[in-house]
């Protein structure tokens, strides 16, 4: 049987690289892989359904499912995940604790991106600071040409009336406004340039974010998922078997990446204490700390479904069981790859 060709849009990371370089090939499929930054691929997939398969924003996908207007199905693969406590930046000296954010002016490049949704959900559920307690300003982070999601978001949202949101339309940037004292905080997916340069005007809300995030995981079992893998609905209807083939391939690629990290012959990454980091991650999150599948990730999926709904980005609460096509061997360990599909 000849293989079918599918376009796959993804970011170049260790979890996808075995697919990109051909070390892992999904059964029955030839992948035409487009390596794109997340925000570009999200917009092209959400606006035009340009690819057969693509990484997609989890919050956007949940919102589409809730609206009954989703052109995609998904497999329980999480190529991108990250604790986001480190991504809340504040004006030095003005904000010292999460409760200090109440009533303050907060900037972001997007209101509906998954990372921002997780930040707001964490602040509300862990510290009692709701989105409505803040004044929101949308704009560019700095002078770079990063996409400005602003109020023209990937998913048009009818926000609750108690959300105060303004768009910065002139040449001002979020970093400039923070440095000038006109913003009190920035919720940013990207590391601000002024933070990287060591400006005294900016600090992290959680300077000890590693300890805070580890405590957060111990209490909640939530390791936030940013992206999942979506298949265009018409592509899936024509060939339902491709979902399991892709799931198996993504699992194998991820397992290959994790195995490669734990090797003292020659470090795979330019991190001097990589082995210590891997062993710590296994102690805190389990041996397969980047596990795929629905059940192992139910706490994170339940959280994002709840946050998207309570933050006004979805008209109803979506359940995690609604998100993915059924797969076998979910949550296989690194040693027991997803080979039984």
Average pLDDT of the chain?
91
Q: What is the DSSP letter of 240?
A: T
Model pTM greater than 0.95? no
- What integer pLDDT is reported at residue 146 of this predicted model? 53
pLDDT digits (tens, 9 = 90+) for 189-227: 999 999 999 999 999 999 999 999 999 999 999 999 999
Least confident of 69-73, 142-146, 183-187, 231-235: 142-146
Q: Count CA atoms within 13 Å of residue 116 on its CB side.
A: 25
Q: What is the mean pLDDT of residues 245-261?
A: 97
Residue 331 has what pLDDT?
44
What is the band of 150 on the pLDDT scale with cuts at 50, 70, 90?
very low
Provide the token pair at 251.
């699992």
Is the pLDDT assigned to residue 147 strictly greater than 70? no
Q: What are the tens digits of pLDDT across the range 258-300?
A: 999 999 999 999 999 999 999 999 999 999 999 999 999 999 9
Instruction: Return the structure tokens found at 111.
Output: 């209101």
What domains lie within the chain, and their CATH numbers?
A: 4-82+224-253+292-322 (3.40.190.10), 85-220 (3.40.190.10)
- 160 pLDDT tier (thresholds 50, 70, 90): confident
Helix (H) and strand (E) counts in the chain:
11, 11
Q: How far is CA 107 from CA 90, 152, 160, 167, 168, in A?
A: 10, 15, 18, 10, 9
- pLDDT reported for residue 51: 98
Taking 90 as the threshold, does the pLDDT of residue 161 lie above it?
no
Please report the pLDDT score of residue 178 as a whole number.
Answer: 97
Which of 21, 314, 326 lies closest to 156 in space, CA to CA? 314
Q: Are 53 and 232 in contact (CB under 8 A)?
A: yes
Closest to 86 in 3D by CA, of 1, 212, 243, 269: 212
């Amino acid at each position: 049987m000849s293989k079918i060709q599918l376009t796959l849009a993804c970011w170049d990371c260790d979890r996808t690289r075995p697919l990109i370089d051909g070390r892992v090939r999904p059964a029955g499929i030839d992948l035409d892989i487009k390596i794109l930054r997340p925000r570009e691929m999200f917009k092209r997939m959400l606006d035009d359904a340009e690819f057969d398969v693509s990484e997609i924003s989890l919050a956007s996908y949940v919102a589409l499912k809730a609206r009954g207007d989703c052109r995609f199905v998904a497999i329980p693969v999480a190529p991108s995940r990250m604790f986001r406590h480190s991504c809340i930046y504040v004006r030095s000296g003005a904000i010292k604790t999460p409760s200090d954010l109440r009533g303050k002016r907060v900037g972001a490049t997007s209101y509906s991106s998954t990372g921002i949704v997780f930040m707001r959900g964490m602040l509300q559920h862990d510290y009692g600071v709701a989105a409505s307690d803040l004044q929101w300003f949308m704009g560019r982070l700095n002078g770079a040409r990063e996409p400005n999601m602003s109020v023209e978001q990937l998913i048009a949202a009818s926000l609750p009336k108690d959300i105060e949101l303004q768009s910065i339309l002139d040449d001002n940037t979020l970093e400039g406004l923070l440095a000038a004292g006109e913003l009190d905080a920035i919720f940013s997916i990207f590391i601000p340039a002024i933070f990287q340069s060591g400006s005294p005007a900016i600090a992290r809300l959680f300077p000890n974010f590693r300890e805070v995030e580890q405590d957060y995981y111990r209490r909640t079992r939530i390791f936030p998922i940013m992206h999942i893998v979506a298949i265009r609905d018409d592509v899936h209807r024509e060939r339902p078997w491709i979902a399991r083939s892709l799931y198996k391939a993504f699992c194998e690629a991820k397992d290959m990446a994790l195995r490669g990290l734990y090797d003292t012959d020659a470090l795979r990454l330019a991190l001097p204490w990589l082995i210590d980091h891997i062993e710590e991650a296994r102690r805190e999150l389990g041996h397969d700390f980047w596990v795929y599948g629905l059940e192992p990730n139910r706490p994170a999926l339940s959280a994002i479904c709840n946050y998207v709904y309570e933050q006004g980005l979805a008209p109803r609460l979506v359940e995690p069981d609604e998100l993915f096509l059924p797969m076998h061997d979910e949550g296989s360990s690194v040693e027991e790859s997803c080979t039984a599909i």
